[in-house]
Amino acid sequence: MTFQHWNLNIDAQSIATASLNRAGESTNALSRAVMEELGQLLDQLEREPPAGLIIRSGKAAGFVAGADIDEFSQLDTPEKGRQLVARGWDLFNRLAAVRYPTLALVRGHCLGGGLELALACRYILAVDEPGTKMALPEVMLGIFPGWGGMSRLPQRIGAPAALDMMLTGKGLDAVRAKKMGLADDCVPPRVMEMAARQLLLSNTPRRPLPFMQKMLSGPLKAVVAKGARKHVAKKARPEHYPAPYAIIDLWQKHDGNALAAPGVVERIIQSPTAKNLLRVFRLQERLKSFGKSNDAGGDFVARHVHVIGAGVMGGDIAAWCALRGLSVSLQDQDVTRIAPAIARAQRLFEKKLRQPLAVRAACDRLIPDPEGAGVAHADVVIEAIFENVEAKHALFKALEPKMKPQAILASNTSSLRLEDLRPVLVRPERLVGIHFFNPVAMMPLVEVVEAAGADPAAVRAACAFVRQIDKLPLPVKSAPGFLVNAVLAPYMLAAMQAVDRGIAPESIDAALLAFGMPMGPIELIDTVGLDIAMAAGQQLAGGAQAPRCLQERVTRQQLGKKAGQGFYTWNQGKPQRGPAPAAPAGLAEELVAPLIERTQRLVAEGIVADAELADAGVIFGTGFAPFTGGPLHREARLAQG
Q: Which residues are catalytic?
A: 67, 113, 116, 138
CB 8 within 8 A of CB 41: yes
How far apart CA 186 and CA 407 sit, in angstroms, is 39
Secondary structure class of 64 (helix, strand, coil)? strand
How far apart CA 336 and CA 332 sit, in angstroms, is 9
Q: Is the peptide bond before 475 cis (omega within 30 degrees of 0)?
A: no
Max Cα distance, the chain (Å): 82
How far apart CA 15 and CA 585 sit, in angstroms, is 67
CB 325 within 8 A of CB 365: yes
SS3 content of the chain, % helix, strand, coil (to 5): 50, 15, 35
DSSP string, 393-440: HHHHHHHGGGS-TT-EEEE--SSS-HHHH-TT-SSGGGEEEEE--SST
Q: Nearest-CA neighbor of 88 among 150, 20, 172, 2?
A: 150
Between the alpha carbon of residue 268 and those of residues 111, 177, 482, 620, the distances in Å are 20, 29, 37, 24
Q: Is 296 exposed, middle or buried (0-12, 13-18, 19+ CB in 10 A)?
A: exposed
